[in-house]
Structure 1
C-alpha cells in the first residue's frame, strides 16, 4: 500500500502527518493509531506500529503486545 493509498483509506475525521520519513495517523480524538518509522539501529527495516483506541500496540492480527516486542514492529513497504 502506497502512502497515497494509506492516506485515502483512513476515516475522513482522522489526521495524516508525514515528516522526515515518518508518518503519524491520529484518530478524531487525537489518539495515535498508526505510526510508520524508517529503519533504525534495532529495527533494520521500514516498519509500522498500529495502536488500539487505548494506545496499546498491536500485532498483525490485532493482539496487544509489549511496545518493544518485535511482533509490534510490522514490516511496511510503501509500494
Structure 2
C-alpha cells in the first residue's frame, strides 16, 4: 500500500499542512512552524495487534521529501 498526501488548510492552523495517509488512516502531518518544518506522527489505528506503524523506510522518506517540497512551494516564508 502506498502513502498518499493531501495539502490541507485546517481551521486550527495558521498555515497549510501536508497530511500523509496510509490507506484510510492518517499516519503523519508536516507543517511549517516558526519557520522550520515540523513532523507530527500519529498513533497506529491497529491497536489490537500492535500500537505502532511498520512502514517501508524509502516510501516514508519519499513522502516526507514530497511534503516538504509542497509546503515550500505553497508558503512564501518557508525555507527552500
> Which one has a bigger Cα radius of gyration?
2
TM-score past 0.5 threshold: no
TM-score by length of 2: 0.31
